[in-house]
């Protein structure tokens, strides 16, 4: 359902040009959980940002449900990011002055559609789904790191996205909380969500349906 072919990316830094991706490929089948593992600096975040269309590749192709989105218009990319693609980061990127419920509703506030009573009920159902019943009124600063990551996952759920891109979602969590987040991702996969997770944690990577490894700017194993 999602495919990246021969992706390249070079950054111009202080030390000159650095080729970070040298022809990286990835195939994600519908409803599958794929993990990308690799040491720090191997280009995982760069690759994930390209997959989720936050960053443009220098060359290569991105295909989503058969559509070539490599050179899609800004309007089409915004549409995909608003609905189909969800992204969660290591440092969850919640807005600190919005409550958990408002953070979950953010895709609607950003143009997905009107925040109707039904949408509010859906947001609460998503908060329930990630184990945050009754915490919708709290500000992120009053939630633990694991709870904040759950809010970010609930925000991905409320949109009914087709594919979730997660960059080190357990990266700044303790083992127990990280395990719980991994359990939750596994459940969402069983409910039909495709997931691409980047991690440097070999154990978590192995829990996916398929683990691929990045090194030298390429995906080594598919």
Question: Which residues sit at the interface with ligand ADP, rule CB under 6 A?
Answer: 11, 13, 18, 20, 38, 40-46
Chosen from ligand ADP, Mg ion, none, partner binding at 46 (C-beta under 5 to 8 Å by type): ligand ADP
Chosen from ligand ADP, Mg ion, none, partner binding at 15 (C-beta under 5 to 8 Å by type): none
Kindly state whether residue 42 participates in binding Mg ion, applying the rule CB under 5 A: no
For residues 84 and 156, is the Cβ–Cβ distance under 8 A?
Answer: no
Q: Which of 53, 57, 72 is nearest to 24 (CA)?
A: 57
Nearest approach, Cβ of residue 160 and ligand ADP (Å): 28
Nearest approach, Cβ of residue 11 and ligand ADP (Å): 3
For residues 33 and 194, is the Cβ–Cβ distance under 8 A?
Answer: yes
Pick between residue 13 and residue 96 the one whose CB is nearest to ligand ADP. Answer: 13
Kindly state whether residue 149 participates in binding Mg ion, applying the rule CB under 5 A: no
Q: Which of 99, 126, 135 is nearest to 184 (CA)?
A: 126
Q: C-alpha distances in angstroms, 11 versus 15, 43, 70, 123?
A: 10, 11, 19, 39
Pairwise CA distance, residues 203 & 170, whole Å:
12
Nearest approach, Cβ of residue 167 and ligand ADP (Å): 7
Give the footprint of Mg ion on this chain (CB under 5 A).
44-45
């Amino acid at each position: 359902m999602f495919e990246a072919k021969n992706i390249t990316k070079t950054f111009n830094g202080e030390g000159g040009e650095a080729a970070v991706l040298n022809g990286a490929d990835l195939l994600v089948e519908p409803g599958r959980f794929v993990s990308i593992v690799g040491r720090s600096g191997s280009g995982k975040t760069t690759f994930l940002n390209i997959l989720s269309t936050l960053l443009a590749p220098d060359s290569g192709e991105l295909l989503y449900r058969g559509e070539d989105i490599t050179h899609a218009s800004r309007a089409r990319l915004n549409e995909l990011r608003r609905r189909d693609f969800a992204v969660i980061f290591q440092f969850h990127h919640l807005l600190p002055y919005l409550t958990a419920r408002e953070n979950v509703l953010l895709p609607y506030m950003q143009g997905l559609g009107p925040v109707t009573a039904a949408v509010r009920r859906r947001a609460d159902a998503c908060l329930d789904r990630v184990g945050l019943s009754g915490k919708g009124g709290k500000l992120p600063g009053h939630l633990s790191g694991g709870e904040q990551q759950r809010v970010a996952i609930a925000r991905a759920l409320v949109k009914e996205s087709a594919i979730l891109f997660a960059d080190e979602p357990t990266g700044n969590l303790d083992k127990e909380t990280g395990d719980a987040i991994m359990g939750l991702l596994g459940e969402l996969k069983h409910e039909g969500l495709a997931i691409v997770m980047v991690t440097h944690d070999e154990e978590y990577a192995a829990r996916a349906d398929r683990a691929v490894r990045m090194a030298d700017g390429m995906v080594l194993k598919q």
